[in-house]
Amino acid sequence: MKTTYREAIRAAMREALERDERVFLMGEDVGRYGGCFAVSKGLLDEFGPDRIRDTPLSESAFVGAGIGASLGGMRPIVEIMTVNFSLLALDQIMNNAATLLHMSGGQCSVPLVIRMTTGGGRQLAAQHSHSLEGWYAHIPGIRIITPATLDDARGMLWTALEDPDPVLMFEHGGLYNAEGELADDAGPVDIDRAAIRRAGADVSIVTYGGTLRTCLAAAEVLAADGVDAEVIDLRTLRPLDSTAILDSVVRTHRAVIVDEGWRSGSLSAEISARIMEEAFYDLDAPVQRVCSAEVPMPYAKQLEEAALPQVADVVAAVRATTGGG
């Protein structure tokens, strides 16, 4: 069937609500308004206010309530409008959700899923457009998932709800309107392993989320010049599937990492370090990185485009590492 990324996530939430009475959705405007990005539109009418709960405008409060509900045996899905606003709940996420299992000596699991929109490209300026998932990937005790395809948008949520630990699901805002075919029987998917979205022999392009489309488009441009690029979709940022990354680099001998986060202290830096530590002698060229400009995200369209990784940037990085200009 033909669907959109937004509709695939809505279908995943609907299925979870139908399958498990412990599941409920909570967040700002998820009910009557249908969600800031219309992902939960219609669910209030289907499941009622006990299971689709509009909350006050306090990320710390409703994330904390979600943690408490999960400790009490429920399976909450907490929606935070954008990743920038999640910083208001960082204390709850890092000091409570991520640590309770450890600090209770294994007695208290926190089976909580927190969904949030990430990424730029929509002219929503600096308070709504950053990619901070790499920050959260720094924290032990949580899992970070980044669905980039319709199949993953449809299937990652249920797998995440079965995880005994907190899972943060980052949905790139630029993908919500993305259309494609989704199997009628699409269901839960693996959230442990990266996926090769395009096989290739000359260079490994490592990416995730909203920049997957950028990298696939760059691979097509490179193919016209005779460069065969492999594109790896990380899918999960913590724990990273290092094996998939390293296996690809051992085959291609070159790596370009594309990360919409800022370059300094980024997820791309961590991946680059792992490649250098474990596959240094397999490299034929230094690892290249393509990241967002280290500025608050501009509002003006042309400035925002200049700040974000573009197809031409990825192509240039690959050509640099393959010696093609």
Q: What is the pLDDT of residues 161-188, one digit of tens each?
A: 999 999 999 999 999 999 999 988 888 9
Mean per-residue pLDDT, 105-118: 97
User: What is the mean pLDDT of the segment spanning 35-42?
Assistant: 95
**What residues are labeled active site?**
59, 128
Question: Quick one: pLDDT at residue 325?
Answer: 57
Cα–Cα distance, 190 to 145 (Å, whole number): 11
Residue with tokens 């488009």: 217
Domain range annotation of the chain: 2-181, 195-322
What is the C-alpha to C-alpha distance for residues 124 and 92, in angstroms, rounded to an integer?
26
pLDDT reading at 306 higher than 80: yes
CATH 1.10.640.10 fits 2-181, yes or no: no
pLDDT digit string, tens, across residues 243-273: 999 999 999 999 999 999 999 999 999 999 9
Whether the predicted pLDDT of 201 surpasses 70:
yes
Give the mean pLDDT of 277-283: 97
212 contacts 175 by C-beta, under 8 angstroms: no
DSSP type of residue 55: -
Q: Check residue 275 and give its pLDDT.
A: 98
Phi and psi based region of residue 217 (left: phi greater than 0; alpha: psi -120 to 50; beta: remaining): alpha
Q: What is the pLDDT of residues 52-81, one digit of tens each?
A: 999 999 999 999 999 999 999 999 999 999
pLDDT band, residue 323 (cuts 50/70/90): confident
Mean pLDDT over residues 192-197, rounded? Answer: 98
pLDDT in tens, 235-245: 999 999 999 99
Options 3.30.930.10, 3.40.50.920, 1.10.8.60, 2.60.40.10; which CATH number does 195-322 get? 3.40.50.920
Q: Is the pLDDT of residue 278 over 80?
A: yes
